[in-house]
Amino acid sequence: MGRWRTHYFPVLAEFVRNEREDMRNEIKNLRNELHSVATDEILEHHEESVKFLLSYTGPEDRVTFVHRSLLFITELLLSLRFNEGAAAEESPNLEQRSILSVAMNTTPTEEDRPNKFETVLQHMDSGVALFDVAGNLRFVNVQMSRMLQAPRRALIGSTLHGLFFHPDLTRLTRRNFLRIFRDLVKERRLQAEYRDSNGRFILITISKIEELNGDYLVSMKDVSEYKQIEQTAFQNDKLAMLGKIAAAIAHEIRNPLTSIRGFIQLLNPYLMEVGKQEYGRIIISEIDRANDIIYEFLNSSKPSAPFKQRVLIELLLKESILLSESEALMNNCELHYEVFDPTLIVAIDVKQIKQVLLNMIRNAMDAISEVQQSRKGRIDIVARREEDFAVISVRDNGKGMDELTLNRLFDPFFSTKEEGTGLGLSVSHRIIVNHGGTVQVNSQLNEGTEFMIYLPLADKKE
């Protein structure tokens, strides 16, 4: 295939698609390549290119496209013959008849409409685009144009280089195009995942198909739902592994620690005699901390079958705040609670849900203590009804969290605290889910965080 055929289509598409008339340089360059090409060959290729463009054009634009394509071929051929000095009278007449024939053959008809197979390809859930060996965009379906957030008529005929600077594409999309091109040319990687401006995960696959004369087929598919399923499965795997670890270490470590603690207490009188009682206190403190970690491991695998009983939300909050008041005073925090509906009743395992509330209140205190601020720390606990759920909100004015921390907040072993185990929120989340509820988190850096616990309201028959 002549080199001029590769350049002909993008120049024609740009001329037809846009209303700018200043394309003399492009046409001049194309004319130089067509210097020795027969007129019939040019007209035949022009006819094929126009029909291809019309297949992507709406009914309202087809007449305009045909008109502008005639202007293009007329100007191109006349400039070619003028430069060649063709003065024979029969040549223009021959060209006029040929151009008229092209015009008749490219006039929009009912037959130009895509068949049902083309319609399926256009509306499949994957985006599909086809680039020729020179990097010209030859085909793009509806889904691909939606993913790129640009109309198809503005894309067809664009070169790969032109897409890097295309005005209808977002900056992030153009940057991803550059990354795809780099992966293809330099790293020979033909499949990769990218994230678009809306946060969606897009799987891009590039295939070189011999049946298409070596053209490159590019497909794009939104795999955000699959990523979410994958992350959920990975989370379940980690929780299952956590349960096995908890069961294994409980029996191996807890009993020896209890024995060590007992012997240290027996040695306390001797340590006091030599003035080393502080060593005993530190050893007991560290043993207690190790026991606490083991306890959290055990709880991480336990909350699967809550022992439910009916309880007033107001009573649950009062007891939780009563247990947290002294610690709040030590951390210079104010605790405030409000129940908008005192009749809210839920069927829960009181011990487990109280553990969740105490854990979130303690986390709020820690977030407040990490911020150097002139204002006093404040934790607001609010309960309200929302359809068939009781919603308990725990809001603080602490340091807040960034998006990366929010995405991993309920992962086992993930913690932003130096001495944290990363199990508290993971266990809390599992408890709430086992009660048929959900947890939502809103947070802003340097402003604070809000946890919202949704628990199903108790059935009157329960």
The 10s digit of each residue's pLDDT in 90-103 is 344 444 444 445 44
pTM reported for the whole predicted model: 0.44
Following DSSP, what letter does each residue of 398-461 receive, concatenated?
A: S----HHHHHTTTSTT--SSTT--S-HHHHHHHHHHHTT-EEEEEEETTTEEEEEEEEEBPPTT
pLDDT at res. 91: 44
Higher pLDDT, 433 or 44: 433
| Residue 385 pLDDT exceeds 90 | yes
User: Residue 365: beta bridge partners?
Assistant: none
Render pLDDT for 75-95 as a digit per residue (tens, 0 to 9): 777 667 655 554 344 344 444
Average pLDDT over residues 333-359: 89
Render pLDDT for 294-325 as a digit per residue (tens, 0 to 9): 766 666 555 556 778 899 999 999 888 888 88
pLDDT at res. 33: 77
194-198, 265-269, 361-365 — which is least confidently predicted? 194-198
Write the Ramachandran bin of 199: left for phi over 0, alpha for psi from -120 to 50, otherwise beta: left
pLDDT at res. 380: 93
pLDDT at res. 60: 61
Write the Ramachandran bin of 212: left for phi over 0, alpha for psi from -120 to 50, otherwise beta: alpha
Average pLDDT over residues 237-250: 70
Among 5-14, 188-197, 379-388, which range has the highest average pLDDT?
379-388
Question: 58 Cβ partners below 8 Å, 6+ apart?
Answer: 153
Helix (H) or strand (E) holding 260: helix 224-273
For 274-344, where are the alpha helices, taking DSSP H only? 277-301, 313-330
Among 55-64, 162-171, 394-403, 448-457, which range has the highest average pLDDT?
448-457
Fold of 116-222: Beta-Lactamase (3.30.450)
Residue 114: pLDDT band with limits 50, 70, 90: low
Per CATH, the number for 309-456 is 3.30.565.10
Distance of CA 179 to the CA centre of its chain: 17
| Residue 391 pLDDT exceeds 90 | yes
